[in-house]
Amino acid sequence: MSVHAALFRVYRPIIIPFAAILITVDLLITTLVVVGNGEIGFSMWLVLAGSAAKYWLLVVGVMLVVMQLRQFVANGATRHEFMVGAGVFGLTMSAGFAAVVVLGHALEGLVLGGSRGDGYPVLSAAGLLGEFGQVFPVAAGYLISGALIAAGFYRWGAWIGLAVMVGGSIPVGVADGLLGVDQFGAKAAGMPYAAALTLSLAATAVAAWVFHRVVSDVAIRRTAG
Amino acid sequence: MIELRDLTVRYGSAVAVDDVSLDLPTGKIYGLLGRNGSGKTSLLSALASYRRPARGTVRFDGADAFENPAVMRNTCFIRDSLDVNDSERVRGVLGFASWMRPGWDAGYAARLVEVFELEPRRRISALSRGQRSALGVVLGLASRAPLTILDETYLGMDAVARSNFYRELLADYLAHPRTIILSTHLIEEVADLFERVIILDRGRVLLHEEADELRGRGVTVTGPAAAVGDFAGGRPVLGEQSLGGVRAVTLDWRPDAAEVARGEAAGLTFGPVGLQELFIHLTLEAAR
């Protein structure tokens, strides 16, 4: 079985309950706000699912290094094979989460209908791709940041790991700062989308290259499971 | 053939494996022996590509081993600490190995789980030290990897489990010949399994010999104390025991037929020497 296929099987039992909890919490809170207020002036889905697309993927990036790298190498995969598989898995997860955020946002707008308050970020059909184009690079940035930060600690321990953490957080800072989406929709980036996307992807690509260099010959350590 | 050339493994300024060169013909059971800190695990880590050597190479049939997919897929390295996540269950660990290991034998794994009385639903964190070792044995044997490395896999196992381990190892090796490297401190228990023995001492190879040659290298002479003393005079003594007027001396020396006949005429009996005694003698001698 390929590394990415195995990773999907490993994470499947985590993703499904996580999605169920996310949807339940969103429905519950949104219903409470609408019942209490009569309307909702922001997108609860963007708050919850938008945060999940970032922070959960950050955690997945960390777990890939701390838990899965050793597991795969111990079962006959090379570090390079693991990184390629983790890359396919990570990009698919990032795209999947971004798609869920955007489609959920559109669905939420439709379901709320007249309960949408003034500040609610209504998403048109034409806006679907645009919002995906913002959420996806941010999600990918968080994932690679988590992986690089974890790789720094895994390879060099605490002190150099802290230094790597500073560099490792650059994709998050650039992507979130330039392309971030909050509860009111897209944040103002202060620069054209194409430039913001280019900078974000460049920061993520550089971090991915550094990650590859850090992990390509790292010693397989005994880590806490 | 597995070739190690000028292999050096360092941890900062500490040298764990020092310029080791070895040729290991495949299809044999190797015993890797050494005192604590002699570099056994570091050598095995380099052999299994868990660690890139500071210097030197590991080659399998002429191909560089490090990050070589064909080589790594055919290598199974079971460390004493077991490379699994504590939050997983036994069946999850075995399931994962079945996805990744091309030679995985699920039926054999299930049988070994029964032999070692492992509970498939139990989490790794809930396993005792011996049960973790038994899981390592299941992973190592059921993988049927052409190079299987078991690093102190017996830790925490009781006598029954260890006996099951040795029996299963030998039976599976005979049914599916492959290269197996066993690192152990329980030398006498496993000695009969070894076909070749490698002794490491402070990062260097002290000895690499066929096990049979090693066993024939010394002799245990037992008999009346005076006769044993006369016979052993001037020979290198590995160890000795006395009980009443009977003395047994282990010598690092192989007597020829005439000398054996002379000894037997003096009431002496001759027996083989244990690997453990040889190991102790050789490593102590090296330390001196």
Task: Indicate the pLDDT class of residue B62, thresholds 50, 70 and 90.
Answer: confident
**CB-defined contacts A:B, below 8 A:** 70
Question: Which amino acid type is present at position A80?
Answer: H
In whole angstroms, give the CA distance from residue B78 to residue B90: 15
Residue B133 pLDDT: 93
Query: Average of pLDDT values for B126-151?
Result: 94
Domain annotation covers residue A142: yes
Q: Do A75 and B81 touch (CB under 8 A)?
A: no
In whole angstroms, give the CA distance from residue A190 to residue A171: 18
In whole angstroms, give the CA distance from residue B192 to residue B274: 10
Nearest CB to A78 within list B72, B83, B124? B72
User: Could you give phi then psi for residue B223, rounded to 5 degrees?
Assistant: 165, -165
Give chain B's length: 288
Q: What is the mean pLDDT of chain B?
A: 90
Query: Which pair of structure tokens corresponds to residue B99?
Result: 């996805």
In terms of residue numbers, what domain contains A109? 3-215
Per DSSP, the residues of A161-181 read HHHHHHHHTHHHHHHHHHH-E
- The answer, yes or no, to whether residue B38 has pLDDT greater than 50, is yes
Query: CA B216, B221, B224: angle at the middle one, nearest 5?
Result: 170
CA nearest neighbour of B232 among B207, B262, B212: B262
Domain annotation covers residue A136: yes
Domain annotation covers residue A130: yes
Let me know: does B277 contact B188? Beta carbons within 8 Å: no
- The answer, yes or no, to whether residue B47 has pLDDT greater than 90, is yes
Residue of B nearest to A225 (CA): B85
Domain B2-214: CATH architecture, name and number where available:
3-Layer(aba) Sandwich (3.40)
Residue A187 pLDDT: 67
In this predicted model, which residue has the larger pLDDT, A19 or B208? Answer: B208
User: Could you give phi then psi for residue B284, rounded to 5 degrees?
Assistant: -70, -40
Q: Do A76 and B101 touch (CB under 8 A)?
A: yes
Residue B172 pLDDT: 94
Residue A225 pLDDT: 45
Task: Indicate the pLDDT class of residue B49, thresholds 50, 70 and 90.
Answer: very high
Q: Do A6 and B87 touch (CB under 8 A)?
A: no
pLDDT one-digit tens code per residue, B226-237: 888 888 888 888
Walk along chain A (225 residues) and give the pLDDT tens digit of each residue. 899 999 999 998 888 888 888 888 888 887 887 777 777 787 888 888 888 878 999 999 999 999 999 999 999 999 999 999 999 999 999 999 899 888 888 888 888 777 777 778 877 877 888 889 989 999 999 999 999 999 999 999 889 989 999 999 999 999 888 888 877 777 666 788 888 899 999 999 999 999 999 999 999 987 654
Per DSSP, the residues of A31-85 read HHHHHHHSSBSS-HHHHHHHHIIIIIHHHHHHHIIIIIHHHHHHTT--HHHHHHH
Q: Where are the domains of chain B?
A: 2-214, 219-272
Let me know: does B18 contact B205? Beta carbons within 8 Å: no
Prediction ipTM score: 0.85
Query: Which pair of structure tokens corresponds to residue B9?
Result: 């493994």
In whole angstroms, give the CA distance from residue B154 to residue B253: 32
B147-181 residues labelled b (16+ CB within 10 A) or e (exposed): bbbbbbbbbbbeeebbebbbebbeebbeeeebbbb
- The answer, yes or no, to whether residue B158 has pLDDT greater than 70, is yes
Interface residues of chain A, partner chain B, Cβ below 8 Å: 1, 5-6, 9-10, 67, 70-81, 216-217, 219-220, 222, 224-225
Residue B108 pLDDT: 95
What are B34's strand-pairing partners? B200
Residue of A nearest to B85 (CA): A225
Distance from CA of A217 to the nearest CA of B (A): 6
Residue of A nearest to B96 (CA): A6
* Domain count of the fold of chain A: 1
pLDDT one-digit tens code per residue, A121-156: 877 877 888 889 989 999 999 999 999 999 999 999
Domain annotation covers residue A220: no
Domain annotation covers residue A154: yes
Q: Do A77 and B100 touch (CB under 8 A)?
A: yes
Q: Which of B96, B123, B135, B143 to mutate to test the interface with A (most CBs of A within 10 A)?
A: B96
Residue A33 pLDDT: 79
CA nearest neighbour of A208 among A158, A170, A159: A170
Nearest CB to A75 within list B67, B88, B100? B100
